[in-house]
Amino acid sequence: MEGRVWNFSAGPSTLPLPVLEEVQRDLLNYGGTGMSVLEMSHRSKTYGGIIGDAEATLRRVLDVPSNYSILFMQGGGTGEFAAAYLNLFASRAVREKQRRLGRPLACDYLVTGSWSKLGKQEVERLGGRVNVAADGAASGYAGIPPAAEWTLGAPDETAFVYYCENETIHGVEVPPSAVVDAVDPSVPVICDMSSNMLSRPVDVGRFGAIVAGAQKNMGPAGVTVVIVRKDLLERDEGDADVTRALPSVLDWSYYDRAGSMPHTPPTFSIYVCGLVFRWAEQQGIRELARRRAARARLVYDEIDAHPAFFRGRVDPACRSEMNLVFNLPTPELEATFLAEAAERRMVQLKGHRSLGGIRVSLYNAMPLEGAEAFAAFMRDFYARHGPQEKD
């Protein structure tokens, strides 16, 4: 669309153009109601249809089993660091296991980058007993330790295993099924899929819960999706310790009973998410997975062609197809790269403030043409700024 840029932001990220156009058409008068979704009551029949359709569509797209609940919450991925821990330790299944053990259960964490590290630290802050089963710190989070080196706790002493499937800052993505294949089936696996949810098929039935901020592949900022197995929502309701320790705003069971609306939800964000879910269903989840691989390949081919110039930081075995990170030989060249990219209407490419460099985020809504344009720019930049061959 004329006037729009190639937006490579890590989040909030680009949205599908057809979705934005539908939002624009309906902004002032949704469905003939004479009002915007921004204005309508979340208790109205119309909005009930909007949130119900959003949930049903996501369930179809990801083939979510019937014994899982889908919740729309707030607080982002950061809120779910605490929520995952508090809800699992409030669940009847985990509490019964802990009673049998006679001491607090451990929480296993795979630390593969900044977000999983922050999740671990939040549980430690809340007093949880954390077992770091694997930590990529020694490599600067440039890879994932092999599963043979993980130190997972004994199943009867472990409440859950937690990991982040795609680290947006470090550009590391855990291969599909790598964690659930390594974990005893009796231990729930909790996965943060904030930045790759909806980009490829996922076997939901192998997880205890999946949590994801929407602002990468699913919609605008302001809503968090939680997909949780229903048995983990069962509680010993008479236990006062459970209700005191778990704020209502983080309580998955409370949200489940109220259909994600115990209070006013982020209505407009959920509405836009529903449109994105419908768009994803029209594309097909396998087609979205094919496109994500094709986009990433275009950029990684340029990195691999000139590794001394486009300096990739991640082990190729676990390079993210969502967030591609690299450095140039000098900070001055990186500044020139960003400036010239902006002149070509390619924006939001600066790496995270903690690492610097370049970060190219290629979420679902980025057309293949955007990745092609960026790869062409990389080739041109190398031709002009790379090492000059001597005659």
Catalytic residues: 115, 192, 216
Structure tokens at 68: 């899982």
- Match 């001597």 to its residue by tokens: 390
Q: By three-state DSSP, how is residue 289 classified?
A: helix
Q: Which of 273, 281, 289, 270 is nearest to 61 (CA)?
A: 281
| β-pair partners for 213 | 224
Q: Where are the alpha helices (DSSP H) in 165-284?
A: 178-182, 240-245, 252-257, 267-283
Structure tokens at 321: 């197809």
Q: Which 8-state DSSP code applies to residue 221?
A: T
CA–CA separation, 312 and 328 (whole Å): 9
Q: Which of 233, 181, 173 is nearest to 209 (CA)?
A: 233
C-alpha separations of 330 from 9, 361, 382 in Å: 22, 22, 14
Query: With contact defined as beta carbons under 8 Å apart, do 77 and 211 qualify?
Result: yes
Phi-psi region of 243 (alpha: psi -120 to 50; beta: other; left: phi over 0): alpha
Structure tokens at 235: 């509680």
Query: With contact defined as beta carbons under 8 Å apart, do 125 and 201 qualify?
Result: no
**What's the gap between Cα 145 and its chain centre?**
21
CA–CA separation, 128 and 142 (whole Å): 27
Measured between alpha carbons, how far apart are the two ends of the chain, in Å?
A: 45
Q: By three-state DSSP, how is residue 169 classified?
A: coil
